[in-house]
């Protein structure tokens, strides 16, 4: 018996997956933007797990933390179960520091800026979040590194690991990441979500966001097919009705969020809180997960774009497949990346980091 799977994977950048450390206990890579960590949604071959398995024969990796698909930078895996448990305990004990760097619109204020707005997940499937009193407590410390007259490079130190935490907090402060396809969108209204001013229901927000990307032929950035928007909007609408019927007397906060230290240390001495272990589907948040993953080194045929050096299988068209009938322009690399980079992951006896990306250099100017 044979089963053939016909797949269409969204495009990703063609940059190589750089291995920073592989000492038998941990594997540290510099993840390119646009590539998810695990197979999820429409991604399978073009994922970190599958690329490591196919190009390097590496399997049985234990996930220590994850990064958003559009986020680049330091990504850490444990090679053994013992190492995985050790690293997981360090995270739980808040002995791990995470540092990110991003480029935002406008002149970010000088000095240290702390955001503590609660974040609510609107859609797990898309990874759409917003500031909401019903959300989970979180805290991020920001510090401006440079300003080139139009945009600012900002150092970001999250104390918690909520989905899209850095991106949502920057949007709320009025300084969205320069090329963020979700939180820099005009779908959020004239203020683009600054100060929580949106003026739309969750359903209306999703529809507006989808319509904007549909008109720009960039729905792949939302990790959802065109025919899945209505279904997801209906789920959100139903969820909102349930919330109206069951309004809690107090904001819904997790127990974990109440354990956050009341004192805010300097950005250089920050340590992260334990991260939710609930799977976020294909949103691929920067979260803690000690599961072991075994990629298949002999993968089935499927559309693959730029992530591996292996020759792609012959292109096939299925007359029953709606995707095969669509002709989309190839996106540029600029359209596939976001200016958010995981710069450093540090523990009591280890530190892994990467050089600053080109776009984070002080004299960088965006090309027209």
Least confident of 18-22, 66-70, 235-239, 345-349: 235-239
Q: Long-range contact list for 23-27, CB < 8 A, 24+ apart?
A: 24/79, 25/78, 25/79, 25/80, 25/83, 26/64, 26/76, 26/77, 26/78, 26/79, 26/83, 26/87, 26/350, 27/52, 27/58, 27/61, 27/76, 27/77, 27/78, 27/79
Classify the C-alpha dihedral 257-260-266-268 as positive or negative.
negative
Share of residues in the chain with pLDDT > 90 (%): 45
* 191-223 per-position pLDDT tens digit: 888 998 888 888 888 888 878 767 665 666 666
Residue 128 · residue 143 · CB < 8 Å: no
Where are any strands of DSSP class E within the chain? 18-22, 26-31, 61-63, 72-78, 97-105, 112-115, 119-123, 128-131, 140-147, 151-158, 292-293, 340-347, 350-353
Q: Which of 214, 305, 287, 224 is nearest to 41 (CA)?
A: 224
pTM, rounded to two decimals: 0.75
Of 100 and 258, the one with more pLDDT? 100
Quick check: helix, strand or coil at residue 66? coil
Ordered DSSP codes for 19-58: EEEESSSEEEEEEPTT--SS-BTTBSSSSHHHHHHHHH--
CA 162/CA 273 separation, integer angstroms: 10
| Other beta carbons less than 10 A from residue 217's beta carbon | 11
Model confidence at 34: pLDDT above 80:
yes
Q: 247-275 burial, b if ≥16 CB within 10 A, otherwise e?
A: eeeeeeeeeebeebeeeeeebeebbbbbb
Q: Which of 340, 352, 351 is nearest to 33 (CA)?
A: 340
Relative to beta strand 112-115, strand 18-22 is unpaired
Where do the domains of the chain lie, and which CATH numbers do they carry? 18-360 (3.30.2350.10)
Residue 88 · residue 76 · CB < 8 Å: no
| Other beta carbons less than 10 A from residue 110's beta carbon | 10
Looking at the annotation, which residues are catalytic? 68
Q: Which of 347, 283, 278 is nearest to 78 (CA)?
A: 347
* 235-259 per-position pLDDT tens digit: 655 565 444 444 443 333 333 333 3
| Amino acid 356: pLDDT | 96
Quick check: helix, strand or coil at residue 203? helix
Q: Which of 7, 57, 21, 82 is nearest to 305 (CA)?
A: 7
CA 286/CA 309 separation, integer angstroms: 27
- The whole-number average pLDDT for the span 54-65 is 92
CA 40/CA 24 separation, integer angstroms: 27
């Amino acid at each position: 018996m044979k089963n053939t799977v016909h797949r269409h994977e969204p495009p990703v950048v063609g940059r190589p997956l750089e291995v920073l450390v592989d000492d038998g206990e941990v594997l540290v890579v510099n993840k390119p933007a646009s590539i998810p960590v695990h197979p999820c949604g429409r991604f399978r071959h073009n994922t970190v797990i599958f690329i490591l398995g196919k190009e390097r024969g590496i399997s049985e990796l234990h996930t220590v933390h994850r990064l958003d698909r559009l986020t680049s930078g330091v990504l850490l895996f444990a090679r053994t179960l013992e190492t995985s448990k050790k690293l997981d305990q360090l995270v739980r004990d808040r002995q791990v520091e995470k540092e990110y760097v991003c480029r935002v619109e406008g002149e970010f204020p000088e000095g240290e800026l702390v955001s503590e707005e609660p974040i609510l997940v609107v859609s797990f499937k898309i990874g759409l979040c917003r500031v909401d009193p019903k959300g989970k407590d979180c805290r991020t410390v920001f510090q401006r590194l440079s300003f080139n007259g139009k945009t600012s490079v900002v150092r970001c130190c999250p104390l918690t690991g909520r989905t899209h935490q850095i991106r949502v907090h920057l949007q709320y402060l009025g300084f969205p990441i320069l090329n963020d396809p979700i939180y820099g969108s005009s779908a959020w209204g004239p203020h683009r979500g600054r100060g929580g001013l949106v003026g739309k229901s969750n359903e209306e927000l999703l529809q507006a966001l989808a319509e904007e990307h549909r008109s720009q032929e960039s729905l792949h950035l939302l990790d959802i097919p065109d025919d899945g928007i209505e279904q997801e909007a209906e789920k959100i609408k139903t969820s909102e009705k349930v919330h109206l019927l069951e309004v809690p007397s107090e904001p819904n906060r997790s127990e974990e969020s109440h354990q956050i230290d009341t004192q805010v240390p300097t950005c250089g001495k920050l340590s992260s809180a334990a991260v939710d272990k609930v799977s976020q589907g294909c949103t691929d948040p920067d979260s803690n997960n000690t599961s072991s993953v075994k990629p298949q080194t002999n993968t089935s045929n499927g559309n693959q774009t730029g992530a591996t050096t292996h020759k792609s299988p012959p292109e096939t068209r299925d007359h029953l497949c709606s995707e095969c009938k669509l002709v989309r322009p190839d996106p540029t690399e600029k359209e596939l990346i976001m200016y958010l980079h995981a710069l450093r992951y540090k523990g009591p006896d280890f530190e892994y980091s990467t050089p600053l990306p080109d776009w984070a250099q002080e004299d960088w100017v965006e090309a027209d």
